[in-house]
Structure 1
Amino acid sequence: MRAIDRRNALVGTLAAVIGGGTAPAQTPPPTVAGRARDPRETIDLWPGGAPGMPARAPVETVVERSTDPRQSDRAVHGIVRPRLVVFRPATPNGAAVLVTPGGGYRWVVIDKEGYEVGQWLSARGYTVFVLFYRLPGDGWAAGPDVALSDAQRAIRLIRARADAYGIDPGKVTAMGFSAGGHVCGDLATRFATATYAPVDAADRLSARPDRAAPIYAVQSMSAPLAHAGSRTLLIGSDAAPSQERAHTPAHNVTRDTPPCFLVHAEDDDVVPVGNTLEMRAALRAAGVSVETHLFAQGGHGFGIRKAADKPARAWLELFRTWAEAGSPV
């Protein structure tokens, strides 16, 4: 195990400093009226509010995109109080997963890449934290690093509260989808980048996830692989090549990048499969353990529900097998 992973000695002390136990639910989960079955437990990331507030504060808004009254498909934008929504398992297996849903950096999907994944994993023993992160197009001072700031802070808080949740702080995986997969890949490759000033003792902990699973992830910020909408909202339509490279995870892979689990459908017509292939090549070149699953069919954004009748439905069980096999960290 590399020196960067030797971070666990501080965790017990820091949990006591921060207050131990479960953080009070300061901000409810993003929701719409009538969703009584939504999870209730949340953890606000930033005491006193998130840093770098825009001159005009965004207004958090939840949009219901589904026309089927039996199945919700919500998304939230204008996030001002980034937070974790917690899914506790009946019997914790000691492992945690930080989930970053997609949404093209336009919004953050709630149901199909957030709560549904949280429910599936927590039913199998994982303690799951779904992250509702700030969006780069809202004018935060951190600019294109604002979602990464939230992801770094989230990993540190999960580790700081490991004892309270029955988590091994050395078993924290990051999983992200589409643009949330970019957040995940950014975290896996730039976890040590200083994107915010420390606010409390938790920020003394490492933000490096022990494993990472970018799923049909936005990865490249350069044509022809870039997803145009995500690129524009993250770095602008006229960004220089240096900016493109700085925010393309494949260009930031090092030997300290954690082992990765990659999934993509080859018929994805929104985020080309070349994003995952480029990331895989960079991981292999750096000597980082990587497992890759490509499916002939699945399109984009299949999550759990849209993969139900396709071979791509196997991806979560494949992830579980990989995660529990004890790949080197």
Structure 2
Amino acid sequence: MIRTFYFILLLLCSAHSSFGQTIVKLWPEGVPNQKISDEAEYSENTGILKIFNVQDPTLEVFLPSKTLRIGKAVIICPGGGYRYLSYNFEGTDFAKLLNSKGIAAFVLKYRLPDSKSLITPNIAPLQDAQRAMRYVRSQAETYGISPNQIGIMGFSAGGHLAATLGTHYNDTVYEPTTPMDSLSARPDFLVLAYPVITMKEPYAHKGSRRNLLVQEATSDLIEFYSNELQVDENTPPTFLVHASDDKGVPVMNSILFYEALKQHDVPAEIHIYPKGGHGFGLAIKKGHLSTWTDRLFEWMESLELE
């Protein structure tokens, strides 16, 4: 009886219900690259739920009904310039749409590099993204998905994180502590919505670069995180969407990544809309732009994944 009680308590500590179905801690054995500080996570909700100072990274799980499941899954990285997470507008709202198409969704609450809790700030988001991919892959049977049909998508700075995982999935950025850490962190496909891609002038989004690299904007780090320079023939197939009139993150970010993919014969599709600005999310009530998700689902259906 006591043993059963402690088992139930452990489950409650590592996962709890929310407006998704389950929230899973990414690092129940202890968060790497982190020190004790007086920081605490907090949020602001003015229609968009913004989460700041993430201390304990999580995945919020959204599963479609069993009758709808098609075996695909997507990890979602909300944007926010690496300063906060636009958690509902570029996270949970999209997870619900994916579910309606039979696709499992996992919203990643990743650490933000401006936290003084971090030892090496710039690597923390990639650590969380790698662990998230390995966790979802390790639980594929539980969630009713194929371990070879797991993609990652991101919006704005979240798009940068998704592209960073797509180009740095083989990098060792944390010490393995569980059997799941031996699994591949390579996404099977990438979906990048108005993504930050480059850290180089003249197209870098200065806020994302400043927040990610903090005071360490060395030439090596700028090149490491300029994802158009990191593409190779093993980079996952990629879907990109952007607006030409984006004043926050220039459309050349998506174009640079698309050109790099084509140079390495990586399957890629790009949609550039004349209007939409930055941060359009699902683009509800934005006319022609609102059809971008139709193009995405058509592309996902066309993917030939093993």
TM-score, with structure 1 as normaliser: 0.85
2:288 aligned to 311, 314, 321, which one?
311
1:202 & 1:55 partners in 2: Cα distance? 26
Instruction: Name the structure 2 match of 1:326.
Output: 303
How many matched pairs? 294
Instruction: Name the structure 1 match of 2:24.
Output: 43
Instruction: Name the structure 1 match of 2:180.
Output: 202
Instruction: Name the structure 2 match of 1:61.
Output: 42
Instruction: Name the structure 1 match of 2:196.
Output: 218
Identity of aligned residues (%): 35
Distance 1:225 1:237, change over 3 A: farther
Deviations 1:131-156 (A, max 9, x none): 00001111412421110110100000
Task: Return the offset for 1:76.
Answer: 0.3
Instruction: Name the structure 1 match of 2:14.
Output: 26
Instruction: Name the structure 2 match of 1:52.
Output: 33
2:86 maps to a residue whose letter is V
What's the secondary structure of 2:14's corresponding residue?
Answer: coil
Distance 1:219 1:120, change over 3 A: same
Deviations 1:156-210 (A, max 9, x none): 0001001111010000011000000000000000000011001101011100000
Residue 142 (structure 2) pairs with residue 161 (structure 1): no
1:287 maps to a residue whose letter is D
What's the secondary structure of 2:259's corresponding residue?
Answer: helix
Task: Indicate conservation of the 8 Å contact 1:297/1:310, yes or no.
Answer: no
2:219 aligned to 222, 238, 241, which one?
241
Distance 1:318 1:60, change over 3 A: same
2:185 & 2:79 partners in 1: Cα distance? 20
Distance 1:307 1:224, change over 3 A: farther
Task: Indicate conservation of the 8 Å contact 1:156/1:202, yes or no.
Answer: yes
Residue 101 (structure 2) pairs with residue 124 (structure 1): yes
Task: Return the offset for 1:309.
Answer: 2.4
1:126 maps to a residue whose letter is I
Residue 56 (structure 2) pairs with residue 81 (structure 1): yes
What's the secondary structure of 1:85's corresponding residue?
Answer: strand
Instruction: Name the structure 2 match of 1:285.
Output: 263
2:224 maps to a residue whose letter is A
Residue 126 (structure 2) pairs with residue 138 (structure 1): no
Task: Return the offset for 1:311.
Answer: 1.4
Task: Indicate conservation of the 8 Å contact 1:24/1:43, yes or no.
Answer: no
2:13 & 2:75 partners in 1: Cα distance? 18
1:114 & 1:101 partners in 2: Cα distance? 5
1:301 maps to a residue whose letter is G
Task: Indicate conservation of the 8 Å contact 2:276/2:286, yes or no.
Answer: no
Residue 235 (structure 2) pairs with residue 257 (structure 1): yes
2:192 & 2:175 partners in 1: Cα distance? 27
2:296 maps to a residue whose letter is F
1:326 & 1:288 partners in 2: Cα distance? 12
2:147 maps to a residue whose letter is P
Q: Name the stretch that deviates more: 115-124 or 310-319.
A: 310-319
Distance 1:187 1:121, change over 3 A: same
Task: Indicate conservation of the 8 Å contact 1:152/1:207, yes or no.
Answer: yes
1:182 aligned to 156, 160, 171, which one?
160
What's the secondary structure of 1:270's corresponding residue?
Answer: coil
1:110 & 1:27 partners in 2: Cα distance? 18
1:308 maps to a residue whose letter is K
| Runs of 4 or more above 6 Å deviation | none
Structure 1: give runs of 5+ residues left out of the alignment.
1-18, 30-36, 67-71
1:182 maps to a residue whose letter is H
* Cα RMSD after superposing both structures: 1.8
Task: Indicate conservation of the 8 Å contact 2:153/2:192, yes or no.
Answer: yes
TM-score, with structure 2 as normaliser: 0.91
Q: Name the stretch that deviates more: 260-269 or 132-141.
A: 132-141
Task: Return the offset for 1:307.
Answer: 4.1
